[in-house]
Structure 1
Amino acid sequence: MKTNILIGIVFLTLFNYRTNAQSTTINSEIELKKSETMQQIFIDKFIVPEKSKQEFLERVRINRNFIKHLNGFVNDNAYERIDENGNLIYLTIAVWKNETVLKSAKEAVQAYYKKEGFNISEMFARLNITMERNIYKEAVKP
């Protein structure tokens, strides 16, 4: 009798472990599929001193023209305003098909910079530009 109970407990423990493992695997697969179908919204906010505006906007033009030809690019927009100190506040919003193509796009941009000998960190330091960068996903509608 004790042996049968012990075998039953071992069976239930293994069954629970397997069920939990399957559930975790299924949840991981769902999350992966979700990231493959969910657009990625890449938003940059730049604060550009007035004296740096022209060079900055030329670089933005080059970058926006480049990314438009990359696989998975959906669209982009830019918005600007001048703050109380005369700085240009510039927002760029690029929409990508999914997380995978966004990752590839980042790699392509870095390769492009390397090929042309462009160093964005150096440019931002030299022109005293600050940037805040985030990736967003479309909010679920309530």
Structure 2
Amino acid sequence: MDKEQLKNIIFDHYHDKVARNLGIDVKEAIKKYFQKYNIHVINQEFDKGLFENPLLLKIFSQTNRGGSIEVNETSIYRALDNYVSEVITRIASHEGNANPLIKDQVLQGLNDYSALLWSNNNRGVSYPGDVASCLDPVFINTVLPL
């Protein structure tokens, strides 16, 4: 079995489970979230299956609050990217001001962490060792010497 087949098996099962655990119809959940966040959809006939994962629906709704948007894969990717950028800014902020150096360090750490997950073909890495080496190389070299 290759990686693509395994991914389809896992994610198809996962999406079925997520939709059942939502407790309500996906279409109804979309309607409620879009009303709550005042989102006006340009293309009403979009693929509702894009939001079977409730976390994705929430992130999409929060990042597109109060806007008019065409729902498609591109707008979902854009919402995820905006969400990650917002989180990085919050992490790098102190007393309301975002430190650009810390933002760059956090972004680089997330990129390194993602690359490590991808290269290891895994969903997790050792903590604190590998996590700290990605997110805070100074910490790993001073506190956890090799």
TM-score by length of 2: 0.24
TM-score by length of 1: 0.24
Q: Larger relative contact order (C-alpha < 8 A, sep ≥ 6)?
A: 1
Q: Where is the strand percentage greater, Structure 1 or Structure 2?
A: 1
Higher Rg of the two aligned structures: 1
Q: Where is the helix percentage greater, Structure 1 or Structure 2?
A: 2
